[in-house]
C-alpha cells in the first residue's frame, strides 16, 4: 500500500527540515541518510560536489554552517519524485573564511525504500528583498 500524496508531501517537508538541521549541526551521519549516494550539489559559483566531498567538508568542518534561516519553502511531489525550493539566509565559514549569503536552493528528492533522499541540489544567490 503506497503512501498518498498528502502523506508523501508531509514526509518530504519533514525530510527537508531534518536536512537543514543536519547541515546546521554538521551531523554527517544524518546527512549520509538523507543524501542519495549519486547526489551532486551545484553551488552558487557553478562548482559541483559529490556526496563524499560534501560529507568530508562537514566532517572536517571545512564547511561549517552556523545559521540556516528558512524564509520560504515550497514542496512539490510527483509520483516518487519530490522538489523542495527553499529560500534561506545562510551564515558560516567555508575554507576558513566567514560567509553570509541569501540563497535559493532547489533540491530534487527521490522516494526509495520508504524514505526521501536528495538526488540533486542547486543553490543560487537570491536578491535581497527590496
Q: What is the CATH number of the domain that holds 69?
A: 3.10.450.50
pTM (two decimals): 0.93
- Alpha-carbon distance of 96 to 129, in angstroms, equals 28
pLDDT at position 2: 62
C-alpha torsion sign, points 49, 31, 13, 39? positive
Q: Which pLDDT score, from 0 to 100, does residue 3 have?
A: 74
Q: How many domains does the chain have?
A: 1
Angle at 67 between CA 61 and CA 70, to 5 degrees: 130
In a domain, 22, yes or no: yes
Cell of 117: 533522499
pLDDT, position 102: 97
Q: Is residue 130 part of a domain?
A: no
Rounded CA-CA distance 16/123 in Å is 14
- Per-residue pLDDT in tens (0 to 9) along the chain, 130 residues: 467 999 999 999 999 999 999 999 999 999 999 999 999 999 999 999 999 999 999 999 999 999 999 999 999 999 999 999 999 999 999 999 999 999 999 999 999 999 999 999 999 999 887 7
Domain range spanning residue 44? 5-125
Q: Is residue 15 part of a domain?
A: yes
Amino acid at each position: 500500500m503506497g503512501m498518498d500524496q498528502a502523506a508523501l508531501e508531509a514526509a518530504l517537508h519533514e525530510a527537508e527540515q531534518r536536512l537543514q538541521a543536519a547541515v546546521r549541526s554538521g551531523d554527517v551521519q544524518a546527512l549520509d541518510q538523507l543524501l542519495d549516494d549519486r547526489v551532486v550539489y551545484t553551488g552558487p559559483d557553478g562548482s559541483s560536489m559529490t556526496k563524499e566531498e560534501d560529507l568530508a567538508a562537514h566532517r572536517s568542518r571545512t564547511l561549517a554552517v552556523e545559521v540556516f534561516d528558512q524564509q520560504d519553502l515550497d514542496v512539490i511531489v510527483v509520483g516518487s519524485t519530490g522538489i523542495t525550493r527553499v529560500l534561506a539566509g545562510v551564515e558560516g565559514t567555508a575554507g576558513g573564511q566567514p560567509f553570509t549569503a541569501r540563497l535559493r536552493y532547489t533540491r530534487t528528492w527521490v522516494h526509495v525504500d520508504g524514505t526521501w533522499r536528495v538526488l540533486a541540489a542547486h543553490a543560487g544567490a537570491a536578491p535581497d528583498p527590496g
